[in-house]
Amino acid sequence: MQTDELKAGMSAPERSRRTLIRGVLVFRWVWLGWMSIVAFMDVGDFRRPGLAWASIGLAGAWTAWVTVSSRRWDQATLWGDLAVCAWLIAVSGLVVFEGEVVHRPFFATGYPLTAALSWGVRRGPRGGLAAGAALGLVLVLTRPLNGVPLGNLPAREIRDLVSGIINYLVAGGAVGFVSMLLVRSAQALQDATAALVRERERAARLAERESLAREIHDSVLQVLALIHKKGRALARRGDAPSAEVAGLAELAQQQEVELRSLILRDPERVPEGTTSLRGDLEALARKVDDVDVSVSCVGPLWVDRRVGDELVAAVRQALANVVEHAQATRATVFAEEDEGRLLVSVRDDGVGFVYDEEALRADGKAGMLKSMKGRVEDLGGTMQVTSATGKGTEIELAIPVASTTEPGGR
Amino acid sequence: MSEPIKVLIVDDHPVWRDGVHADLEAAGHSVVGEAADGREAIALARDAMPEVVLMDLQLPHVSGVEATRRIVEESPHVKVLVLSASAEEKDVLEAVKAGAAGYLLKSSTSEELVDAVVRVRDGEPVFTPSLAGLVLDEFRRIAKQNTGEPELTARENEVLKYVAKGYTYREIGEKLFISTKTVQNHVQNILTKLQLRKRYELMRYALQRGLDQAPE
């Protein structure tokens, strides 16, 4: 707990402890005053008045110091306090005439309690009880110091002694307990507040993103989309230097797609160690230039990161194949999870081919497909190619999955 | 070009409206109006008698989703084709539930746009693969919740999956040995079920609020 406080600076639990310590301080002054008044009135009954006044002076100085010193109640202060209070108890046996301590405990009753209280505040119930026990022990010692042998105390005096000890123990323990409860609830409150603040910040960020999205939608995206569209049309018409216009259109499209992906999807809470297959496939599709690739997924599809990486790599190869061989205008990547199987398909509208592994191998074209198949089989899955001349090609990958997790919300 | 189609363009961005306007006229269609916000769109859909409304989703005053709902309610024969710069899933899905007949990304080419306008006018639902993925997701959730709301038949599910995979209606028909028209009907039914689901939602909401009348 100590290190936590140091880390957090002035934490809420620390603040509640300080409040309690200030309360104890009031007790100190009250007891100090009462101790002085009683000593003044009974000064004639002291066998060592000098020691009595010196002790009151010590307690006064100590009280004044802990009042004005802004020092926090650390280990040294606590031990100092325990020493001062133990001294006051011990002195109570020394200042009165022999055998009198039983009737006139003087310094032992009031002020020393504050050490038990302070220990309780700072160290919880255990600290309070320990300090109380230490004070109790010193109280026992006052009897021999007062010339009363412990061996043959009458029952009444034993009872008084025990009740004195119990006083110390209860004071330390009870305040320690209260302090502990206070600290815990302060901590809980602090945590709850922090969580609330985080939630608010998140909401504010989302709202900001939304307004940003609207802004960008209105100005930048619209114009980019237009440039991209018009640029392509101009390039096709051919009366402008078409390569340049087409390049311009590509540039606008890239920016448009990038901006859109940046702002328009809710940031999803990512389950530990997983990745959104949809997100990864969309990112991949944006990088393919020569064919129009659209991605269609049933849900965000949270999959194990390793599985996701392998599948994306396989799809990348499939798309490279499409660009190189299919003469397609567009390709669609589809992914879904259905009954424990993750299905990913890459479909193009190109020329198609006759899928015959033997023939492909003979032509030296089997490499890429084989490597894709290897990836999928490593994941315990299968690959199926459906194609016919002139009818495009569909490559479907199926791998078993435990279950893609759906985090709260979408 | 057989017959010019009367189109209303709804977009808050004048540059965009001009561009689309030019594309449509170049293809021989007639633009009967342009609206810059949802309110204007609703009024013009009533007054200018368009056959197809090209609807942007992010509009001032009245949103594109709301405008779509009102237009479809007031004039069921008008087809609303959502043309959005964003792939914002919720909005797109809401627009389709509100009665949009199709959805196209603004990054589509001029040819695709003009083609989609013709198809939508002819009663063909215009779908993108990614929208099909969203709709599949939506119906999977319905099936899991088991609320008795309309679910997809096995065949509709199959058709939708092919759309999500990027197959055209004709290709799907060939694969399933059914006519292109039947495929379109399936897709239309899927859309209707989505819109029905929206009504269920509204009704449930109304019942929970203790209203004795379900909203339209």
Assign B130 a pLDDT band (cuts: 50, 70, 90): confident
Rounded distance, CA B114 to CA A307, Å? 41
Q: How many Cα atoms occupy the beta-carbon half-sphere of A38 within 13 Å?
A: 18
- Residue A206 DSSP SS3: helix
The more confidently predicted of residues B30 and A236 is: B30
For A86-120, write each residue's pLDDT tens digit.
888 888 877 777 777 666 666 767 888 888 888 98
The least confident of A1-10, A358-367, B47-56 is A1-10
The more confidently predicted of residues A246 and A303 is: A303
The verdict on A220 touching B (C-beta cutoff 8 Å) is no
Q: Which residues of B touch A (CB under 8 A)?
A: 12-13, 15-16, 19, 58, 85-89, 106-110, 128-133, 136-137, 140, 161, 164-167, 171
Rounded distance, CA A141 to CA A101, Å? 11
Interacting residues of A50 by C-beta distance below 8 A, sequence separation 6+ = none
CB atoms within 10 A of CB B99: 22
Rounded distance, CA B140 to CA B157, Å? 10
Type of residue numbered A389: T
The more confidently predicted of residues B212 and B191 is: B191
What percent of chain B lies above the pLDDT cut of 70?
Answer: 88
For residue A217, give the nearest of B86, B107, B133 by CB distance. B86
Rounded distance, CA B162 to CA B103, Å? 17
pLDDT beyond 80 at A360 = no
pLDDT beyond 70 at A366 = no
> What residue ranges in A249-297 does DSSP mark as E strands?
274-276, 292-297
pLDDT beyond 70 at B170 = yes
Closest CA to A278 of A145, A137, A404: A404
Cβ distance of B171 and A391 shorter than 8 Å: yes
- Which pLDDT belongs to residue A3? 43
Q: C-alpha distances in angstroms, A250 versus A232, A348, A382? A: 8, 21, 36
- Which pLDDT belongs to residue B214? 45
Greatest mean pLDDT among A111-115, B79-83, B111-115 lies in B79-83
When pLDDT is averaged across residues B117-136 and rounded to a whole number, the result is 88
Cβ distance of A265 and B89 shorter than 8 Å: yes
Predicted TM-score (pTM) above 0.80: no
Provide the shortest C-alpha distance from residue A377 to chain B (in Å).
Answer: 22
Rounded distance, CA B10 to CA A259, Å? 23
- Which pLDDT belongs to residue A71? 66
What percent of chain A lies above the pLDDT cut of 90?
Answer: 3
In this prediction the ipTM stands at 0.78
- Residue A46 DSSP SS3: strand
CB B45 within 8 A of CB B71: yes
